[in-house]
Chain A
Amino acid sequence: MSGVDKFSYIRNILIAVDESENAHRAVSYVAQLLGGLEGFKVTVLHVIPQPEEDFFKTFTEKEEWCSKYQVKVDAMLEGYRQVLIRAGFHPHDVSVRSPLRYCPSMAACILAERDETEYGTLVVGRQGLSRSEEFIFGSISSKIVSHARNCTVWVVE
């Protein structure tokens, strides 16, 4: 057996997205690279960060915000799903997920999602933060690259 044959790779791909341009690029990248190829399954993930209670005056205001946000996320994920289907993915092979999570760190939440499921590759877009922004507010993609284990990470420019 050759060295290459020793490994078998899981063809499930998890794309972590938000509304940003870099997330669009990440989805387009996967669509163009793998669309029409057999055997790949893609899940488009948006972790909804549980909004801090402090942000709202009342519980009702929070509930309303969450409902509106969920509608927006559903539309966004469906949009990404269609991009992948148009590129040649079978509709059955493209799914979406939008769990609501308490997220002090979005990177940790995304990695936790990956750990719970069988994804061989995790795809994210690079945010294009300035150095000072990355230092002060942190970078999701950098943290994912540093902390991901047992999977391959693609960071799409």
Chain B
Amino acid sequence: MASNWLPDHRIPSRFRIHRDTTNIFRVEYDDVVVLGGKPYLIRHNAKELRFGLEDEVKFWVKRAIDLRNGSLKIMKLVFYEKFMSRIGAIEYECFRSPKKEARILDLVSGHKNFMHGYSIQDEKDNLIRILDFVRGKPLFAYVENMELGHEAYYYEQFPGILDHFFECVQAIRFLHEHGEKHGDIRRDHILIDSDKGQYRWIDFDINYRHRENIYGYDLFGLGNVLVFLVGKGDLLLPDLKKQKHPALSTLREEDVNIVFHNRVVNLKKIYPYIPEALNQVLMHFSKGANWFYENTEQLLEDLGELRNAA
């Protein structure tokens, strides 16, 4: 069965079969993992984008083929890690949790704005997640690669993108309403499903030790994605300086991201046609903000008004 999926020169005399995936490094490409009686042929490791750096190999995440029907899957093996993450000068503790991702997969089953899949234990009770492969581009790549000037992008493309992003925020509200954080909201964690054009959140296995505002970090992530979408990319101060951009002299300390002080958030100063109401939403994520969104409902309310006014 597995031989059908490999070129002749790669077909081994005996396939290595794993029913225990505890040692994730033993599970290699062209091996077969059997879970709940279902065989999966392992292909290569998945990679994660690291902006400005070489992509990082996620050695616990494998592309796989469900040998019963040939469908492409992502298999996430159990890999625990705890690490201190930083946003700007702020440190906070993060951890990778198969249980969290498994729980959320159950919760979002059938929800159009999330990746789908299921979890299953191997014979040593490792909680493996089998994800449907989402065919499509990451949202950030779609936006960045549009060959359009900003003004044309803003008037022609952004309204549709905002509608989809609104659904993404609603999807995060759905998680929060069920007591779950996404945990790793980033612009490369939304994929545009090429089958139906839907925006879908991926990768829910990161959790963080929250402080007072349990969903604050998710909201910060949503703000960063929104600013990116409105700006058709990040507007970085060093780039504006290189361009000797005329708006530079008008930018104030409070116009940059609340944490990343080289990213401009007050985009109206760069693109004057951005409406004040939209810019105000962005400014809630700026260094000059005197009020921060506490929950997705507040953000949705503001975005909803913008869409109604458009």
Contact = CB atoms under 8 A, between A and B. Distances in A.
A137 interface: yes
A9 interface: no
B186 interface: no
Contact of B211 (A55, A57, A137): A137
B164 interface: no
Interface stretch (A22-30, A82-90, A104-112, A149-157): A104-112
Q: Do most interface residues of chain B lie in helix, strand or loop, or is the interface mixed? A: loop
Given A53-B99, A55-B97, A55-B207, A136 B212 contact: no
B90 interface: yes
Given A54-B100, A104-B179, A138-B212, 11 more contacts: A52-B207, A53-B99, A55-B82, A57-B80, A105-B213, A105-B214, A106-B211, A136-B87, A136-B216, A138-B211, A138-B216
A128 to B, nearest CB: 13
A104 B214 contact: yes
B212 A106 contact: yes
A67 interface: no
Sort A-B residue pairs by CB-CB distance and give the 9 closest, nearest first.
A138-B213, A138-B212, A54-B97, A135-B292, A137-B211, A54-B100, A104-B214, A136-B216, A54-B207
Question: Most chain-A CB neighbours within 10 Å: which of B212, B220, B287, B289?
Answer: B212
A143 B213 CA distance: 10
A136 B88 CA distance: 12
A136 to B, nearest CB: 5
Interface residues of A, number: 20
Contacts, number: 63
Interface in B207-221: 207, 209-214, 216-217, 219-220
B92 interface: yes
10 contacts: A52-B209, A54-B99, A55-B82, A55-B207, A132-B258, A136-B90, A136-B219, A136-B292, A138-B212, A138-B216
A125 B212 CA distance: 14
B152 interface: no
Contacts of A57: 80
Listed residue (B211, B258, B287, B292) with the most chain A CB atoms within 10 angstroms of its CB? B211
Interface residues on B, range: 20 to 34
A104 B216 CA distance: 12
A139 B294 CA distance: 12
Interface of A: 52-55, 57, 104-107, 130-133, 135-140, 143
A139 B82 CA distance: 24
Contacts of A136: 87, 90, 213, 216-217, 219-220, 258-259, 292
A137 B212 contact: yes
Nearest to A143: B212
B161 to A, nearest CB: 25
Contacts of A106: 211-212
B153 interface: no
B89 A130 contact: yes
B95 interface: yes
Contact of B88 (A105, A132, A137): A132
Contact of B259 (A132, A139, A140): A132
Contacts of A104: 179, 210, 214
